[in-house]
Amino acid sequence: MNKEEYIEIIDALINIIDEGVYVVDDKGKGLFYNDAMAKMEKISVDEVVGKSFHKAFPGVPISESTMFKATRFGQSTLNLEQTYKSLHGRTITTTNSTFPVYHEGRPVGAIEVAKDITHIRSLSNRILELEEIKEKETEQVQEKQKVAIKKYVFSDIIGENVDFLKVLSKARRAANSDASVIIMGETGTGKELFAQSLHYCGKRKNKPFMAQNCAALPESLLEGILFGTSKGGFTGAIDRPGLFEQADGGTLLLDEISAMSYNLQSKLLRVLQEEYIRRVGGEKDIPIDVRIVATVNESPKTLIEEGLLRKDLFYRLNIVSLLIPPLRKRKDDIELLTHALIDKHCDRFGHVSMLISERALKTLENYSYPGNVRELENIIMQAVSLSEGDKVLNEHMLSMPVTEMETYSHINSAEIIGGLDEYLSQIEKELIREALVNHSGNVTKSAEELSIKRQTLQHKMKKYKISAKI
């Protein structure tokens, strides 16, 4: 293939992709400028190709030109957000990545790939405004109704498992310090409970506790939410403090920190090191005093290896680390949690407190809980809400995924310790007790449920010394 043909192919290729592509030679003269880029910047390809980038984009100051940095100093820029005016005065916001290109060690040009995020920017701004309105309204409503938002403290955290207690005592000791904390734990293990307890049981308790889930928002919006925005920063920007300023003197919980872009992670690191922030588009350095609690749902080692979490940020945050074990690794806590959660939800639904049958508890203990304590709580909450004055929470009231439920129908021969007869008698006893509990000791109804004759049931109750008064 000769050079012309090769160029034809490259030309066709860059014209069919959605991202804007701009290629210059070592002197900064435009070689390629694709349709996507032309559409984005509302200028024609001819106005750029063959011209130096200074002439094509007079609105970009040389000190901020990533093309200049790439062609002149061989510097790469990754995902940089830029707001600038195109040749025809249209303000656009893009994220750009610019790379120098070398041939045999000699710079031969630079490539820029850009994505138009102007609409995302103005949308973010709109959302910020709406959030502000919502916040004000919520404050007013709360003030009117004096609604207390649930604030968790350490005494709300239930668990006596040895490993769990170690984490809890480490957290209690950390509450009064200013050190950053990273909480690691699968979904539903109680990371929010720990984060709030660190705040509300520490010396910052009278200052604000703010939380932000980093996975919930796109980068450009998250940046504005965290650091605030300044008038003129981008089209329609308003002066607005970010969470760092709002949480001043208090604690900021950054949930799922690994969902934050690498770029924003490095900005966050700088803020933590220098202890001041600058609003997006602003020029003033604002000192901040905020304790950071960050959470991750997976092992930080894996997240670092997968390039989702910056190693330097992790080390900066990891001054205190709390690893909350998943529920399946602290099954000895299930009984305690179950009783506490039954009481909690009976209270909530205005029911008298319920007991739990042995079989139901066994079923709960045998489940693996991918959703951890939150899932256990949901199962119990559902059972309590559906109970109609029942005094006992029975197995049939539990709504767990059937495939995961380990009931008596899945018997492993290794479990049969005292011989088959004894094992079957145990099961028979359990089933009879359960039926009697279900029918408040009514033998006729229990026999019906078990599909046996009333006399047979009475005979078995005598044999196993089971009383009808359960």
Please give the residue ranges that form the binding site for ligand ATP (CB under 6 A): 157-159, 185, 187-193, 297, 373-374, 377
Q: How far is the CB of 397 from Mg ion (least distance, A)?
A: 28
| From 13-21, 189-197, 331-339, 414-422, span contacting Mg ion (CB under 5 A) | 189-197
What DSSP state is assigned to residue 97?
E
* Location of structure tokens 């901020």: 64
Q: How far is the CB of 360 from ligand ATP (least distance, A)?
A: 19
Paired residues of 293 in beta bridges: 181, 253
Which of 211, 405 has the CB closer to Mg ion? 211
Residue nearest to ligand ATP (CB): 190
Which of 223, 377 has the CB closer to ligand ATP? 377
Which of 86, 196 has the CB closer to Mg ion? 196
Which of 193, 384 has the CB closer to ligand ATP? 193
Instruction: Identify which of 400, 397, 401, 402 has the alpha carbon closest to the alpha carbon of residue 355.
Output: 397
Distance CA 462, CA 456 (A): 10
192 binds Mg ion (CB under 5 A): yes
Which partner in ligand ATP, Mg ion, none is near 98 (CB below 5 to 8 A by kind)? none
Which partner in ligand ATP, Mg ion, none is near 362 (CB below 5 to 8 A by kind)? none
DSSP per-residue string spanning 103-124: ETTEEEEEEEEEEE-HHHHHHH
Residues 6+ apart with CB under 8 A from 72: none
Show the tokens assigned to 234: 């981008």
Distance CA 246, CA 240 (A): 10
Distance CA 257, CA 215 (A): 8
Which partner in Mg ion, ligand ATP, none is near 75 (CB below 5 to 8 A by kind)? none
Which of 192, 430 has the CB closer to Mg ion? 192
Amino acid at 1: M
C-alpha of 331 from chain center: 25
Which partner in Mg ion, ligand ATP, none is near 188 (CB below 5 to 8 A by kind)? ligand ATP
Q: How far is the CB of 175 from ligand ATP (least distance, A)?
A: 16
Q: How far is the CB of 341 from Mg ion (least distance, A)?
A: 18
Which of 93, 372 has the CB closer to ligand ATP? 372
Which partner in ligand ATP, Mg ion, none is near 122 (CB below 5 to 8 A by kind)? none
Residues 6+ apart with CB under 8 A from 195: 181, 183, 211, 251, 253, 293, 295
Q: How far is the CB of 214 from Mg ion (least distance, A)?
A: 11
Which of 35, 192 has the CB closer to Mg ion? 192
Number of residues engaging Mg ion in binding (CB under 5 A): 2
Q: How far is the CB of 258 from ligand ATP (least distance, A)?
A: 12
Amino acid at 313: L
| C-alpha to C-alpha distances, 336 to 132, 330, 355, 356, nearest whole angstrom | 41, 11, 13, 12
Q: How far is the CB of 373 from ligand ATP (least distance, A)?
A: 3
Which of 8, 347 has the CB closer to ligand ATP? 347
Show the tokens assigned to 136: 């004000």
Per-position x/- string for 26-65, each x denoting binding to Mg ion as judged by CB under 5 A, each - no binding:
----------------------------------------
Q: Where are the beta strands (DSSP E) in 226-359?
A: 251-255, 276-277, 286-287, 291-296, 320-323, 355-356
Q: How far is the CB of 85 from ligand ATP (least distance, A)?
A: 42
Distance CA 315, CA 332 (A): 33
Q: Which residues lie near Mg ion (CB under 5 A)?
A: 191-192
